[in-house]
Structures are given as structure tokens and as C-alpha cells.
Structure 1
Amino acid sequence: MPPNTTASSGQKPGKSGRKKGHKARLIVLVLVLAIIGGIAYGAYWSISTVRASLPQTKGSITLDGLSGPVDVKRDSYGIPQIYASTDEDLFMAQGYVQAQDRFYEMDVRRHMTSGRLSEMFGKGQVDNDEFLRTLGWDRVAKKEYDTKLSASTKKYLQAYAKGVNAYLAGKDGKEISLEYAALGFTNDYKPEPWTPVDSVSWLKAMAWDLRGNMQDEIDRALMTSRLGPKQIADLYPDYPYSRNKAIVQEGQYNELTQTFEQGGSTSASGSTSGATGTSGTSSASTALQGQLAGLQDVLDDVPAAVGVNGNGIGSNAWVVSGRYTITGSPLLANDPHLSASLPSVWYQMGLHCRAVSSKCQYDVSGYTFAGMPGVVIGHNANIAWGMTNSAVDVTDLYLEKLSGNGYLYDGKTLPFTTREETIKVAGGTSKTIVVRETNNGPLLSDRDDELVKVGKKAPVDAAAPDRGDGYGIALRWTALQAGTTMDAVFAMDKAANWNDFRAAAALFEVPSQNLVYADSKNIGYTLPGRIPTRAKGVDGSLPQPGWDSKYRWTGWIKQGELPYEYNPSRGYIVTANQAVIDPDKYPYTLTTDWGYGTRSQRITDLIQSKIDDGGKISTDDMRQMQVDNSSEIAKLLVPTLLKIDIDDKDVREAQKLLEGWDYTQDADSAAAAYFNAVWRNILKLAFGNKLPKELRVEGQCLWVEKADSTGPVDEETKVRECGQRDPDQAQPDGGDRWFEVVRNLMNDEKSDWWTTPKGVGDRPEATNRDQLFKRAMIDARWELTAKLGKDIDTWSWGRLHRLFLKNQTLGTEGPGFLKYILNRGPWKLSGGEATVNATGWNAAGGYGVVWVPSMRMVVNLGDLDKSKWINLTGASGHAYSAHYTDQTSKWVKGELLDWSFSKDAVDKSTSDTLVLKP
């Protein structure tokens, strides 16, 4: 009998019981002391490390290689503005300053882009490295540097690398950041010198996350195992051009000159839209399913660079003509939607020549990436620009028919192009792989563990063995060809007008982006990029047979043929990942997978309503539009949900939250919490049990973290609070494609999509739309009761919709005390999926925030010093810096910081000045 049972009976514990109880107390005491000691040691260790790694921001430092002194002026948020007298000094100082603040982040990034994460983090990253080596980003970047980039760009990249290495000189790991000190516990990793190619490679990682419709290609192909053409068409509806306007509404394609021209819109012939499938035998179709299912698993594990592995991300950018603004000059807003990271993917800074001349050409301020010279988004003294992902289709997957010696192409067997890659592993044994390429690109399927692997020691010229059933998947992607995007960054930074900007944009080959433009009098939009053309009837919406040449790309859309607008008559331009142009007005198929225009049309409506009311738009109006929380799917569904007869008093109580709700998803809204739970359950019931299990999303609910909980949760509770679910069941992510799917099905109340089997407990089966909606309302009430409590007065959207900021390496995989040191949050957020304030969440995994407006800016072309900006986190990557997350609270509230640009304004806002001396 246990000692506590004996004691509770009123008897004294025996000798044996006393010893056991004493021993138990000792164990508890030792554990408590160990925990306290661990925290204390962690605190001492981290504080001492932080003191060694925090950058010097005052006084002076001598840097070999400078031709003259450089001033680094930081404001109260640690944002640097650099002043130099030559281009090379400017970019060398940029490299030094970014390394001061963010070198660990830079180092991780270059190891990711080169497929060398295992060198830092050990064997857990080998699979990722194998995949990244197969893509060969760093190889392409080196080819760009060697053969494509201009002499001036190379000079700037070299200067930047020189600045980074000047910072690294003489420092050991713990003097650079506490993460290196932590890595030192497990391996002897030491940072290498920075190279120009390290900077160029980051553009490939960015392009990968913004690559377009590759995931949709995979999903559509996998759907064919369970769904018919009509059902797949239901799930990929046509873009609603009549309701959600395309970006370019004015202008026409001239077939005679083969150019896109400004002016009134006219119809153009020759559209090649229309989905086509792969041709081939049934065995090829079966092979495709197997290969894609394996590839899906590989892709899920690849680390994201700026996005969420190519899924769900978007951005907002719009520009308003001066005739509709208070200042009489244009206003430009931008907020790219990327994955939440700590530190933020963006780095704010200004690069200023003391006197702009041929010797020193730059006077620019904005956002860039740590590890890359120049400014990617922002403004100079003459123009401003912003970006959103265009989503044009620049990737195609090809099913390849393989033999032991090569692959089939037009009836002939061609030899693979092969290379050997050796992956070094911290604390482990190196691994060698063979990368094989066809004329369509690298074989991604070779990295699937389910397929037969190449021998570790196979020489480069060895005949690789046949794989699996004789089929493989190759990737054709524009970013795997050397290009000139790095040239474009510097050209945009010094562009003085629309013509300069368009010429610079023509160099921006990958990733293809929507670029919005403004100067003091004009506004514009242009679509740059290396965009492939395909044979008539081939649109890239599904994987194609690689053995048939008719499915090969036929060329590139010429820059002069790409759509643009300049000073359109409506007085504004909105880009938010919607369709670029109506296909009836353009001869090329840019993609079949646009965003569906939910955000873009909401922004358009907000601008137009202001204009219709006769008002003038201010900088703060632009800011308020950026944080608009209105739910468009709620506007569609709530009137129907309120008509449904609910008997259960608890469910009726929740339903009443929707009465009078204005569809605004504020963090403190109980109605927003309930509606989003209903929406998630509608998706689960209508589509989740009908999709192929291969489409399942990692992290989907069997368990969604209980709001405000901190401790571990047992499996029984997970099932009870999340519902009885098939772990192999797929579920929609809930993005605006699903808005359109449900909108199109609303009038078909007896569609097969609305049918469900009998639910758990008293939740009934559904045979029509309203029955399914009723069941979703019941399930949502049950789910939120488990997560937020029975009292709906305590419910709020922010309790479900929370942002956690995690260091992307040791903050996710490191020991507990390191996670405590490196990570921040949670914050309760407003906004939601496909909302202008796009704090995205994935309905397949719960309500937590997955991607965010990674920064926000509003540029005032009438007075640049009255522009505003904010970053998700802060300037610093050092965990105990005052500037680690000092902008986050303001970002959460939708506030913006003053953005000084002129020398006088910068001087007034300067808190610290560091002089870099030659």
C-alpha cells in the first residue's frame, strides 16, 4: 500500500514508508534545484554571451578597404541609415552593419541555399540537404555571378562581402551570436568567410517560395485517383473576372507589333487556356500518382525561406494617383504576406551617397534581406515601388520514363546529366548522392526515400540504376537558369523615372513579381519576369509527359509583350495576387492558378468608396486599409447560417453571436471566433472525407492547441476536444480558392459535396447544404467549448488566432532554455485568411497564425519624410537586444513608425552614430 494511503487512514507511516517518502521529497528537491540551476546557468551563459555579441553602434571602428569615412546613424529602433562617398564604401558598410545585426541569420540562409544545413545542425537535415543539392540553387547562383551579372553588380557584391568579412575578422562564434555559442555545445562549427555568391543564392530561395502553381499541379494530379473531372473542376473554379477585377484593365496586345500597348482594352485572340492532362498509358498514370505522393512528403519537409513552402502566401500593394490624395501626389502602400519568422525576413535601412554622382549613385531607403546588398522594396529620392507575387506559372513537373542508362525522349533514350554531391554532417559521417537531370531538369523523385537509391559511392559517370517502376518526376523551373535579377535590384534603386524603372524591371527575371510604381506625378504597374510559353492546348496545370517533345516549353514571352499600366483613367492600381489580365484581352496563358481576388476587390472597394464620397485619401487612410479585418466569406455565409433552425440552446446561443455582426475579425470578437470555427467545420464536413488522403496537410487536427493552455495534453483529450477524425483524411486549407468553391455551390443545395455520414454522438448526417451547415454549427460550438470554455462571453478570436515568433533553428529544435531565450509571444491577432489584414491561418491545422503582413509601408510621394513603415520584429537578430522585437507590439496594433529620409530628418531621429574609418 502506498505511504500516502497509510497516512490518510490515521495511522503513522512505518519506517519503510518514511524512507520512501523522504526519498521522494529528495528526488523532487533535486529536480527543482536542477531546473533552477539549469535556468540560472542558461541565464548566466546567455547574458555573458549577449554582452560579447551585441554590436557597437557608437564611436568609431577602423575597417580596412574603405576609401573614406562612413557614417552609420541609427534611430531609436536601431534602424541604420548609412552615408558614404562612393558606391563601394556604401555597400561595404551595408555588409558590415547587416552582419553586426543579423550574421547568424545570414549564415543559416546561405547554408540552406547551398544545401549545407547538415554542417551546422547535424544528421536531421540530411534529407533537406539532398533535396536542395538536387535543385542546385548555389550552382545556378555561381553561374549567374560568373556569366550574367554586370561588372558594377559584381563590384557591389564584392564590396558587400568585404564588409561582412571585416565584421567576422578575429571573432569567434560566441562574439557573433549566442546561437553559435549554443552550437558549440554539440559541434565545433565555425562560420566561413562570406562570398558574393552567398548573396545571389538567396534570390533562388526567395524564388522557390514564390514559385507559383507547382503544388496545385501535384494536388490536381493526385485528385484524379478519387475524383472525376467535374469534381476537380468544382474544386478549381474559374477566376471570377466579372466580380473581382484583374490588375490591368486598360491597354491591349497588338498582334501586328507583338507588344502590349497602353490604351483602351480590346479583345485579343489566341488564348491557350483550358486544362489538359498528361497523355500516356494507365501504367504511367499509376506511376505518376506514386511519384507525386512521395514528392509531396519531400516538399513538406523542405525549409521555407520567406514563405510557407509555396502555399497560401500573397501580398498587397496598391498606388493611388495624386488627384485623389490629400497631398496632390501619389501614395503607395505595400505589405508582403510571408511566413512569420524571428527575426523578420526583412531588414530596414537607408543607403545614402553624401552627394549623388557617377562616383556614388544611390540615395535609397526601404527593405532588404540580411545577406543581400541594395534595397528590394522602398523608395529613392524620385520614385517608390512595391511588390506582390504574380503567381505566374514558371514551373512544370514532367513524368519521365526512365531506363537504366537514361530517359526516353521522342522514341530515343538519352543519357542523364549527372553530378556527385557530398554532404558533410556535423558530428556524423559524410554522405554522397548522385543528382540526375533530364532535358526537363533535375529528377526530384530521386530524393524520395520510398524509391530505390543511388549507391553512396557511385562515380559521376556511372550508369544509374532504374528507379521504382521506371518512372520519375523532373522539374522545369525558370530559376534553374542563370539570370539577372541581382542587376535589377541595383537598377531599381537608382531609377529616376518610369522609363528607368521599366528598364530595371525587365532585368527582374525570377521570381516574377507584380511591381507597382509611383513618382511625384505618375503611377504605374508592370509585370516582369522570364515567363515560358507552351504549345497550344498545354497550360501547365498538370504534370506533363516528359518523353513527348510537344509538351516542352516553346519559348519566352518577350518583355515588350508583358502587361503594364501607366496612369490609368480610374486613378489607382491594386495588386493582391489576383489575375493580372482578363484572358480574353491577352494571347498568352500566364497561369490557371491566380488568387481569386478576395483581397484585391476589397481594397478596390475601399478606395472607390472614398472616391465616390468625394473624399481625399491620406497616408493614414492607406494604413487603415492595410489593417481592414472584414471577412468576405462571412458576408456570404452568415445570412444563410442565421436562417437555420437550431434547437440546442447552447448552439443557438453561439448562433446569436452572428446576429448584427459586421463581419469584422477583431481580436476581441466572439462572433469572429465562432464564425471561423463554423467555416473550418464546413470545409471539414463538405470536403475533408472526399479528398485523397495523399493531400493531407501536416499538422492538421487531430489536435489544435487549446487556447491559453501551457502544459502537455493527453491523447484522449486531443481526440475529445478536436473530434473524431481520420488521421489520413485530407482537409482544405480554407484560402480564397475555397471561398470561390463554396460560393459556386451555394445555390446547389443538394450537391453531393453537402452530404456527410452520421457524426459522433447526436450530430446528424447531412443530405443537403443547410443540414451540413447545421452540423458545422453544432460541431463549432462543441469545439470552442473545449478550447475557450462554455461561457461565450469569454470567447474571442484572438484567443484562437495567436502569433508565436520562433527562431527558425534553435528556437524550434533547441533545448528548452534556449527556446525561452530566443522565442517570443504569443500575441492575439485580428484579421484572417484572405482578409486585407492577412494574418493567415490554415484550416487543416487550426486557427494559429501561419503567415502575416511581414512588413507594412506607406510612401508619401508629396513629402517622403512623411512616409511610414513598420517591420514584424525589429532590426536586430540578437535575442537580448532592445531591437529584437521592439516593433512587434506596434505592428500588432496596426501602427506605423515615422520613416525619415532626408538628411535633416534622419539627423533629427538619430540616437546612435557609428563612424567607420579607413
Structure 2
Amino acid sequence: MTDTTSSASAQQPDPATGPSPAAPGGPAGAVAAFVVGTWRGFRSLPLPMRLTAYVALGLVLLLVLATATTTVLVRRPLPQTAGSVEIAGLDGEVEVLRDEHGIAQVYADTMGDLARGQGYVHAQDRFFEMDVRRHATAGRLAELFGEEAVESDAYVRTMGWRRVAEKEVALLTPDTRAFLEAYADGVNAYLDDRGTSSISVEYTVLRLGGLDYQPEDWTPVDSLAWLKAMAWDLRGNMGDEIDRVLSADAVGTERAAELFPAYPYDEVTPIVTQGAVVDQVYEQDAERGQTRLPLRPGFEADQRAALRDLRDGMERMPAWLGRGEGIGSNSWVVSGELTESGDPLLANDPHLGTSLPGVWTQMGLHCRDVGPQCPLDVSGFTFSGVPGVIIGHNADVAWGFTNLGPDVADLFVERVSGEDVLRDGELRPLRIREEVIRVQGGEDVRITVRTGSHGPLVSDVAEQLAEVADVASGRLGTIVPEGGEAAVALQWTALQPGTTADAILALNLATDWDSFRAAAADFEAPAQNLVYADTEGHIGYQAPGRIPIRKSGNDGTVPSAGWLPENDWTGSVVPYDALPSVLDPDEGFVVTANQAVVGPGYPYFLTDDWDRGARSERIRDLLTERLAAGPVDADDMLEVQLDTRNPMAPVLVPHLLDVPLDGGYADDGQELLGDWDFSQPAEGEHSAAAAYYNVVWANLLDLVFDDELPADLAADGGQRWMAVVTDLLDEPDDPWWDDVVTEEVETRDDTLARAMTEARDELVRRQARDAESWTWGHLHRLDLRSATLGESGIGPVEALLNRDDWGVGGGSAIVDATSWDAAEGYAVTAAPSMRLVTSPGDWDASRWINLTGVSGHPASSHYTDQTDLWAAGETLPWRFSDDAVEAATEDRLVLQPPD
């Protein structure tokens, strides 16, 4: 690869390095000027003073040189964004136009060149993130970060994410494979002849720590494997399966059932209420042999201990790989018959864990002459490392995602004897393989991966789970093989090779509802809710995904006995044509916010662990209110996304106001609730009340539940806990209100009073004595941290990579879903990872915003340049047409084939 410079940029320094260190104004020039000037001044001093001054000068000089060197090293990886670069393998010139926020729009004449251009730009901006992801999904993080990553690597190796991705390549269409290969070529063109210090400052830090490393070439498998991590993050109710068992162990079956209320189907409007599939299947047998509530024998103490260990091990997976819980998304689409423009509007804001850089990077991919040979003209949010656009629009259609959340993963307690597993009264052989985990700065770690008919034995992979091997007893009436052990297997649809990569490219190329539905059919994992709008005025919804059909003994709510065949999956999945779908619903809009997709009459079991509908019902209410006043526009959509009304507050606040507190200091916070509108802004009116309420809520959960539940089951304050407390408020003498640690028996009002008193004291400690000066934003902080070296514990490194301390509004179960964990504190744990509103009638009128920025380089002005706007509820113009993109262009880079 050869770097050249066009005449337009010949007078500019290379953006990859900044000013030359030897040039006037560069770091070395500044140091030289400082030394010469200081030396001349010192010569006029008396000798004793000169000696002291020389020592001081030497120390200062060392500090200045270190600072200058650090500046050069930090800025060195910044990419070239103007001029031209020669890249082998291109069919023709590729233009990369960037706007004031560094958002790239790529133009080319062939599909292959578009993919190469996208790969090159992704590598420019975020290769370290891409490299970490591929190490994570291959179970090779320890090669970069040492012993602390071994346990995560062991889990991923045991699940075999990369092994599955390797098998997927052969299943993809030739066009998809070619696109993946061209993308990899673009990534590798950027890496070619570049040392690690020119790729990312994180590599420089790791090298200082002793890492001797040069990145391998990128491959299509690297791209496919990251889709497994996203499926893991959105895997469904696996944690709930374990929590149900452990809760029963802690407080008994009857009281544990109170902690998992039934889904309120009669209170929440499902996503789809009409459509061919729904209308037909409700007339059929509602069960089709599927037992929703089978008898579930209890687990014995040693099995519960094993499951607890498994849960703890899962929690030690890196947070940026996803926890599988506490996240969600909003999306909705409104018919043009209800909008001011007469064209549909589509809104989307996926809620994911916070990280730096953020999970999304914005980009457009445009064929210069759109036609059969080069049909791509698309723009939206992309995953670095994955070609194409994940969420966005092309010239004809727009689409958005929320998590469907079906139960696609089950845990099975297995009975193992040596290299065999008990199944239907017989011992059958396990599949066994050895894996070697290379460890930076340490000895290799060898693990044995055992796999049965239900999947890998995930209980094998960590020292903390060793007691699983000591479990000897089985379920009621079950005989364990002599010398046997118990293990826990994971059966998960994402561990079967699939074709989601085909779906991504096909969605990018869809032109109408039929081609959109055909594309969605290949989107197997993670299963998503897809909303749709097009330039012809149509809106729609489609549920895709590989969703297993279980036998009658398994309802997916708790781990199952693996030796009983009635607990197996049937081997079939819910047929795509039977999944809920609707085009142009009578209501004129579709709302998805992780609530139930359909009502209880639907014949296939998807899950009962839906989001409980607080966000979806609030969105529906807001849309209905606005539509009652007249047609809506994009600003209305954005306002709905920013709604901060707390759904639990109208239920709890009347009870709080009824509890008598001493006048003056004690009831200052309580008085704030009297005229509170239940909104939770970061600052301004109602923020003080929001701060007080949330501290009361956190204290209340602690007082009610933490005296009886272990720490790993502590109430996080999400929608399930809101439902639990709602039920308890009608039972003032329920045993949950009593603090079992004290001698007296507390009632509901005793506990509410104590929660408010302790909240008042806590806010005085945290903020001020004056209740009116409290703010929710002071407590509810968004800290963006690098998921790797940003957690290193090394102050200067963390200061370089992390960006902290945005005060934000919103909260858990709120439309503006800046979630927090009441058991941990008030800091944001998950948030809208981006926001968009698309306007098919005029694509240039669309709006978007990212949680962070497009760059993964901490020295870049685009590292977090969108975060302030995001926190303020603002958005950026989403330019799509050639004229709009050209008018906004600030940097133009031409990728060209060698002469």
C-alpha cells in the first residue's frame, strides 16, 4: 500500500501524525524553544542558584519530553481522512466523504469496492475494538490481557462461538461470502505495513506492558463470530431460569412465586393484534400439544448450589459481551395517513450496555450508478467488523430493531459418568475435545470441552464451578450412575450455524415489503422485532428468528432434567410463515418495546418472560395523545423518545404521601412529591422530586427484600420488581414488609417511613441539606469507559481512554431508558445506544444521534463528540442524497487502485 497526497491537501500535515516533531510548532520545536530561552535566563544567576535551577530544569525537561512523546504516540493512530491512498485489489476509485462529525459516506462503482471501502474505514476508526471483539468471540482474550481473561475465554471456547461461525461461511450465499471477503480485504489493506503504534494507542500501552503482538489478517469468520456476541447479549431468560430456582431455595417455593408475577396479558397491548397469521392461529388449537405449565419437580440443595455457581460464572463474562438482561429497545412506525408530511415515520432507539467506543458507528454505502451490477444505496448504523448496515434505510425502505426476547436458550442438568451422559435410562458418549488458552505473561491453560445432545457442559469451564462435579444426587426417583457427577448443559439456537449474515445484506437491498420479509426470514439469531416503512407509504412489522418448539415436559422457565426425553426440544422451530407479521395495520401505527408480541391464544410458545409493557404502553399513550391533536411530525417522535415519566411513581407515591413523617427536616423530601408530575429530568423542575423518589425506591427495595434474599438475587428495581411491589402495596401486613433482622414486626407503612427517612439522610450526604436543590442528574451519572484498558486500574491509562460524568434524566422501565441497578447505585448501566427517526418521504429530513462518536481513538475529536448532544436530547441531520452529503463534506479521501 502506498500513501500519496492530492494537490488539494499537499500543504497540510498528515492527519495521522499531526505536525512534524521537528517542525516549528511541533512538540520538539516547542521543547527546543523552551530550553534555549530558559538556558539564557539561567546564565545570569549566581552559581548556587544556577545549580539548583539546572536540576529543576532537568526535571521539567524530562516532564515536557514525556508529555510531548505521549502526545505523539496518542495522536499517531489518527487516520488519514483527506488526500488519496493506493490500495491493491480495488476495481476503481472509492471516495470516502466525511462530515463535521467524521461520519463516512462511501461511494464506489461495484459492490466489492463498497465492501472494501467500508472495511478500510472501519479499520481506520476502530480496529482495536474489532480486534478485541474477534479475540473475545474466539476465546482468545487472554492472549492480549493475561490471566484475568482466562475464565471468559473458557466460557466462549466451551460454547464454541468461533467454531459455529466457521461452519456458517459455507451456508451463506455466494454474494454474501463475496461481500464478507471484500470487506476483509479492505480491513487488511489498512493494516498492511502498519505497526501497532500506528493502528491504536491501546496497542502501545499493551506493548509497554510486555505484549509482543502484530494483528492477524481479518477474515469473514471474524465478522460472523461477532454476531454470536450480539446474540448472547440478547439471549433471553437464561438468568431468570436460574433465579427462579435460587429464589425458591432462599425463601421457599410459594414466596419465590411472588417474586415472578405472571405476565399481565390483560393490561398490555401486544405488538401484533391483527394480520393473517394472528387471525388464523387464534381459531386453531391454542396448545397443539404444547404444555404451558407442566409439573416441575424441585431441585435438591446440591443442584441449586451448582446452578448458583453457574450464574456467578456467567456474571464474570465481560460486561461488554452482554449480560442478557436489563436491556431492551423502543421502536415504532406511524402511517403517513397520520403524519404532517403524508409519509410514514419510523423511530428506533436500542437500549444496550454503555461502553466506549459505543457499539454503533454511522456510515453510508452508495453505488454511484445504482443498478443490477451495483444495487446498494444504504445508510445507517453499523457494527465495526461486520459489513453492511444493521439498522437504517436505503432508497426505498427503512427498518428498525428491538429485541423479540423469545426463550431460545435452556439449561439442562445432566447426569454424567466418565465420558458418558445418562439419557433415557442409557449411558451415551459425550463429544470431547481439548482446548489450549494462550495467556499473555503466564502459562497456557488447558481445558476439556464436553458436549452432549443438549449442548456444551458449561459447568465445566471454571474453577469456581468445580463443586458441580461433586453433585451426586438427582431429581426425585432418579438414579445417578455409580461414580457419576452432575453437570449443566446449555442448549441455545445461536450455537447452531445460521444465515443471519445473508439477512443483513438482503435487508440492505430490500425494495418493498415482500423483499423485506424474504430478507428477514434469514435473520435467525438474535431474534428481533422488525418495524418497516417504505417510500410507497406502507408500514409493517415482522418477527423473525429461530425459535425452538419444546416437548411437553419443558416450559423453558427453569432448568430441566437432561436425562428425561420429555424435556427435549423437538428439533423443529416455529415456522417463519407462522411468526407474527402485519402490513398497514388498521390502527395506523405499530409499537414495539419488548412487550409480548401476541396475546395468550397464539399456538406456539415464544416466552412468558416479556418486558412487562411499561414503555410500550407509555409510547402508545403518547402517540395517541398527539394524534388526537392532529397529524404528527419527526419532532413529535423525538419528544416521545425523550419521555422520562416513571411508571411506578403513580402507584407508589400516594402510599408515600399517606405516611406521616415529622415536620421540618424529615418530611422535606416527602413534600416534593406532592406536586410531582412523575417525570425524571436531569435538572430543573421536578428533578429534586425525582432524585428523592429514586433514592426512596432503592432504599425500599433494600429494606423489603435484602434481609431475606442473597446478594446475587438482590432487587435491581426493574419492571419485574415494580410488579412485585405493586402487589405488596395492597397487602400492608405481608411478611415481605417485615425486617427479619429486628425483633419487632414491621408493616408496610413502617417500612415506607423508614425508606423515606433514610433517603432524606442519604441525599443530605450526597448533595445538600436543602431539598429543593437536589437533582436527579447529580445522582444518575453516565460514565463511558473503555471495556478493556479503561478498567485497568492504571490512572493515566484510564484517564486517557475513559470519559465520565454526564448527568442524565430517565431511568429504568422509562421510555428514555437510562437504566440503573438499585442494588448497585444510581449510575447508568444501559442506555439508548443511538436514536433515529427516518422519513421515507424525504430521507434528508431524517435525524440520528450516536451515544459516543464514530472514532475509537481517544485523541480524535470524534471520540465522544455526539455524547453531549445525545445527553441533551438533540440529534444530527441524517444526510442521504448525493447533494446533501456533498454539501456537508469536510474531508474527502480517495482510495484508488495502484497504477
The Cα of 1:791 is off from its aligned counterpart by 2.4
The 8 Å contact of residues 415 and 484 in structure 2, kept in 1 or not, is answered as no
Match of 2:878 in 1: 899
- The amino acid of 1:142's aligned partner reads E
Matches of 1:344 and 1:467 in 2, distance apart? Answer: 51
Matches of 1:45 and 1:215 in 2, distance apart? Answer: 47
Q: After superposition, what is the alpha-carbon deviation per residue over 1:704-756, rounded to whole angstroms, capped at 9, x for unaligned?
A: xxxxxxxxxxxxxxxxxxxxxxxxxx420111111111222222222222222
Consecutive unaligned residues in structure 2, runs of 5 or more = 1-52, 470-479
- The amino acid of 2:559's aligned partner reads P
The Cα of 1:913 is off from its aligned counterpart by 0.6
Q: After superposition, what is the alpha-carbon deviation per residue over 1:603-626, rounded to whole angstroms, capped at 9, x for unaligned?
A: 00000111223x111101100100
The Cα of 1:808 is off from its aligned counterpart by 1.1
- Correspondence for 2:136 among 108, 112, 115: 112
TM-score, scaled to structure 2: 0.89
- The amino acid of 1:166's aligned partner reads A
1:108–1:482: structure 2 CA closer, same or farther, 3 Å change rule?
same
1:436–1:661: structure 2 CA closer, same or farther, 3 Å change rule?
same
Say whether 1:345 aligns with 2:359: yes
- 1:523-602 to structure 2, matched below 5 A, reads 523-536=539-552, 538-554=554-570, 555-584=572-601, 586-602=602-618
The 8 Å contact of residues 250 and 264 in structure 1, kept in 2 or not, is answered as no
1:756–1:818: structure 2 CA closer, same or farther, 3 Å change rule?
same
The Cα of 1:683 is off from its aligned counterpart by 1.1
- The amino acid of 1:553's aligned partner reads W
The 8 Å contact of residues 119 and 189 in structure 1, kept in 2 or not, is answered as no
Greater shift after overlay, 155-164 or 118-127?
118-127
Greater shift after overlay, 317-326 or 35-44?
35-44
Matches of 1:393 and 1:874 in 2, distance apart? Answer: 33
Say whether 1:478 aligns with 2:493: yes
Match of 1:381 in 2: 395
The 8 Å contact of residues 702 and 715 in structure 2, kept in 1 or not, is answered as yes
Match of 2:715 in 1: 732
The Cα of 1:781 is off from its aligned counterpart by 1.2
Q: After superposition, what is the alpha-carbon deviation per residue over 1:752-801, rounded to whole angstroms, capped at 9, x for unaligned?
A: 22222466xxxx95532222111111121122222223222331111110
- 1:262-411 to structure 2, matched below 5 A, reads 269-270=286-287, 272=290, 274-276=292-294, 278-279=296-297, 285-305=300-320, 307=322, 309-411=323-425
The Cα of 1:657 is off from its aligned counterpart by 1.0
- The amino acid of 1:236's aligned partner reads F
The Cα of 1:189 is off from its aligned counterpart by 2.0
- Correspondence for 1:825 among 796, 804, 813: 804
The Cα of 1:227 is off from its aligned counterpart by 2.8
- 1:74-153 to structure 2, matched below 5 A, reads 74-145=98-169, 147-153=170-176
1:119–1:302: structure 2 CA closer, same or farther, 3 Å change rule?
same
1:791–1:192: structure 2 CA closer, same or farther, 3 Å change rule?
same
Q: After superposition, what is the alpha-carbon deviation per residue over 1:265-299, rounded to whole angstroms, capped at 9, x for unaligned?
A: 757521746444654xx7x6233212111111111
- Correspondence for 2:626 among 599, 610, 635: 610
TM-score, scaled to structure 1: 0.87
Say whether 1:500 aligns with 2:515: yes
The 8 Å contact of residues 281 and 603 in structure 2, kept in 1 or not, is answered as no
- Correspondence for 2:186 among 128, 148, 163: 163
- Correspondence for 1:679 among 691, 697, 700: 697
The 8 Å contact of residues 102 and 370 in structure 1, kept in 2 or not, is answered as yes
Secondary structure of the structure 2 residue equivalent to 1:583: coil
- The amino acid of 1:677's aligned partner reads V
Secondary structure of the structure 2 residue equivalent to 1:913: strand
- Correspondence for 2:428 among 401, 414, 432: 414
Secondary structure of the structure 1 residue equivalent to 2:208: coil
Matches of 1:269 and 1:537 in 2, distance apart? Answer: 17
Say whether 1:792 aligns with 2:753: no
Say whether 1:190 aligns with 2:214: yes
Match of 2:737 in 1: 754
Matches of 1:828 and 1:43 in 2, distance apart? Answer: 31
The Cα of 1:306 is off from its aligned counterpart by 5.6
Matches of 1:412 and 1:787 in 2, distance apart? Answer: 62
The 8 Å contact of residues 404 and 466 in structure 1, kept in 2 or not, is answered as no
1:436–1:856: structure 2 CA closer, same or farther, 3 Å change rule?
same
The 8 Å contact of residues 306 and 338 in structure 1, kept in 2 or not, is answered as no
- The amino acid of 1:411's aligned partner reads G
Match of 2:30 in 1: none
Secondary structure of the structure 1 residue equivalent to 2:114: helix
Say whether 1:781 aligns with 2:760: yes
Matches of 1:741 and 1:384 in 2, distance apart? Answer: 38
- The amino acid of 2:135's aligned partner reads H
Greater shift after overlay, 619-628 or 233-242?
233-242
- The amino acid of 1:478's aligned partner reads T
- The amino acid of 2:335's aligned partner reads S
The 8 Å contact of residues 651 and 726 in structure 2, kept in 1 or not, is answered as yes
Q: After superposition, what is the alpha-carbon deviation per residue over 1:813-855, rounded to whole angstroms, capped at 9, x for unaligned?
A: 1521111111112100011111000000000101001111000
1:652–1:485: structure 2 CA closer, same or farther, 3 Å change rule?
same
Matches of 2:555 and 2:267 in 1, distance apart? Answer: 24
Q: After superposition, what is the alpha-carbon deviation per residue over 1:62-93, rounded to whole angstroms, capped at 9, x for unaligned?
A: 00000100110000000000000000000011
Secondary structure of the structure 2 residue equivalent to 1:436: strand
Matches of 2:554 and 2:581 in 1, distance apart? Answer: 25
The 8 Å contact of residues 42 and 817 in structure 1, kept in 2 or not, is answered as no
Matches of 2:500 and 2:62 in 1, distance apart? Answer: 48
The Cα of 1:35 is off from its aligned counterpart by 11
Q: After superposition, what is the alpha-carbon deviation per residue over 1:38-63, rounded to whole angstroms, capped at 9, x for unaligned?
A: 97666434311233211011111000
Matches of 2:592 and 2:558 in 1, distance apart? Answer: 26
Matches of 1:634 and 1:39 in 2, distance apart? Answer: 54
Match of 2:637 in 1: 622
1:511–1:548: structure 2 CA closer, same or farther, 3 Å change rule?
same
Match of 2:782 in 1: 803
Match of 1:515 in 2: 530
The Cα of 1:450 is off from its aligned counterpart by 3.7
The Cα of 1:36 is off from its aligned counterpart by 8.6
- 1:836-847 to structure 2, matched below 5 A, reads 836-847=815-826
1:72–1:873: structure 2 CA closer, same or farther, 3 Å change rule?
same
Matches of 2:281 and 2:439 in 1, distance apart? Answer: 60
- The amino acid of 1:167's aligned partner reads Y
Matches of 1:299 and 1:568 in 2, distance apart? Answer: 41
Match of 2:47 in 1: none
Match of 2:72 in 1: 48
Match of 1:18 in 2: none
- 1:705-724 to structure 2, matched below 5 A, reads none
- The amino acid of 1:292's aligned partner reads L
1:450–1:820: structure 2 CA closer, same or farther, 3 Å change rule?
closer
Matches of 2:888 and 2:448 in 1, distance apart? Answer: 55
1:248–1:159: structure 2 CA closer, same or farther, 3 Å change rule?
same
Identity %: 49
Match of 1:884 in 2: 863
Matches of 1:425 and 1:69 in 2, distance apart? Answer: 42
- The amino acid of 2:397's aligned partner reads I
Matches of 2:856 and 2:398 in 1, distance apart? Answer: 27
Say whether 1:246 aligns with 2:260: no
Greater shift after overlay, 427-436 or 544-553?
427-436
Match of 1:15 in 2: none
Greater shift after overlay, 735-744 or 615-624?
735-744
Match of 1:222 in 2: 246
RMSD: 2.3
1:797–1:454: structure 2 CA closer, same or farther, 3 Å change rule?
closer
Match of 2:841 in 1: 862
The 8 Å contact of residues 306 and 339 in structure 1, kept in 2 or not, is answered as no
- The amino acid of 1:630's aligned partner reads R
Greater shift after overlay, 38-47 or 474-483?
38-47
Match of 2:45 in 1: none
